[in-house]
Amino acid sequence: MIHILAALAVLGLLIAIHEAGHFLAATWQGIRVSSFSIGLGPVLLGWRRRGIQFALRAIPIGGYVAFPDSDAEEEIHPQDPDLFRNRPLPQRALVIAAGVLANLMFAWVVLVAQGAVYGVPDGISAAEGIVVTGVSPHSPAALAGLQPGDHVVAVNGQPLGEGNGAVQTIITTVQTHPDKPLTLQLEGGGPQERQVTPQLDEEGISRIGAQLQPYGMGQYRPVGGLGELLATASQGFWSITANTLAGYGQLLTHFQATAQQLGGPVRIVEVGAQLAQQGGASLLLFTALISINLAVLNALPLPALDGGQMVLLLWEGLRGRPLPERWTLAVNRLGLALLLGLVGVLMVRDTAQLNLLKSWLIS
């Protein structure tokens, strides 16, 4: 239970960091703010300070910073220069972008903290089997139902062993069995099996379309100095960011296959709880990973997200005058409805599939 609470705390913290970016960018520029909320729905805990309503709400799937521009209860002149809508485009763009920037900066700081406290990565302590770290869309592995995090311990009844030897064993087996079904034995939440049939690629090599690594816990060694600490954190940051962008790109180009790998809040908490059990270093890695994912997600040019708001701002700049309020209101309401609908579907699916005993590794 404590690990689930730790994962929930991380998710709540990252939402708060994102909204704090918007809030600080606005207040730093003297823009009026009416409320700062973590979560959606009814208020669980709230207080007012300097005319701003701070609230913790019941539905932990987001948050928002509100401005008094269209609040009928606020006795503010419509032409007040401190209203958000009356500020120049660059100032409004900074407020909109600040949430994404806050999540990215926080992720880098977390990776620096991980290196300072636990050291820098130094390989993996080998255990039995291999872990699947990626699955290509439409590949034999995807058709067989393999997913990132699956722990494979045997192929055709033969144990794989440990370390790099386990990876080499399954690679050799796949390469020597083109077009022949292989039975993979999985562990985690009870024994499972997957039937996968390797196929020859354009180079004539038998593959299943999965990325593999030895199964085990990450090992760390003391950092060699400030330079190594910053370099390692930066390398990890750019690696996670690149993989995240590639994942979203894959979603756009292979939506039907990749959408099955999407996870909602329940899946995020599940993975976070499992990583919390592996220790503080894994929990910090999870924190950085989700923070970067939140940044990239919010940067997408979709209604109700920061990227969508930036598109509206760009449209206003090209148009040369403010957009009609009814347009922006309609777009935001539609975007929010679609976003809540997607979150709802993911939560139902993830809850049905919830299995806290499943072994997960993030690479």
Amino acid, res. 341: G
Tokens of 328: 């922006």
Half-sphere exposure of 206 (CA within 13 A, CB side): 16
Tokens of 80: 């007040």
Half-sphere exposure of 63 (CA within 13 A, CB side): 25
Predicted TM-score (pTM) above 0.95:
no
SS3 59: strand
CA-to-CA distance for 186 and 176, rounded, in angstroms? 21
What's the residue count for the chain?
363
CA-to-CA distance for 318 and 313, rounded, in angstroms? 9
| Domain residue limits, the chain | 122-221
- On whether the CB atoms of residues 124 and 217 are closer than 8 A, the answer is yes
Residue-by-residue DSSP string for 257-307? HHGGG---HHHHHHHHHHHHHT-HHHHHHHHHHHHHHHHHHHHSS-TTSHH
The secondary structure element, H or E, covering residue 13 is helix 2-28
Instruction: Examine the residue annotation and report whether 19 is marked as an active-site residue of this protein.
Output: yes
Q: 122-221 domain in CATH 3.40.920.10?
A: no
> Which residues 6+ apart lie within 8 Å of 339 measured at CB?
302, 304, 305
Tens-level pLDDT at each residue, the chain (363 residues): 566 666 677 778 888 999 999 999 999 999 999 999 988 788 999 899 888 999 998 877 778 898 886 555 556 777 788 888 889 999 999 999 999 999 999 999 999 998 898 887 776 666 788 888 778 878 898 888 888 778 888 898 888 888 778 888 889 999 999 999 999 998 865 568 889 999 988 788 899 988 887 786 667 788 888 998 999 899 889 988 887 787 677 666 654 444 455 555 545 555 555 555 556 777 788 888 888 888 888 888 877 788 888 988 888 888 877 767 676 767 666 666 665 555 554 444 444 443 333 333 333
CA-to-CA distance for 224 and 216, rounded, in angstroms? 24
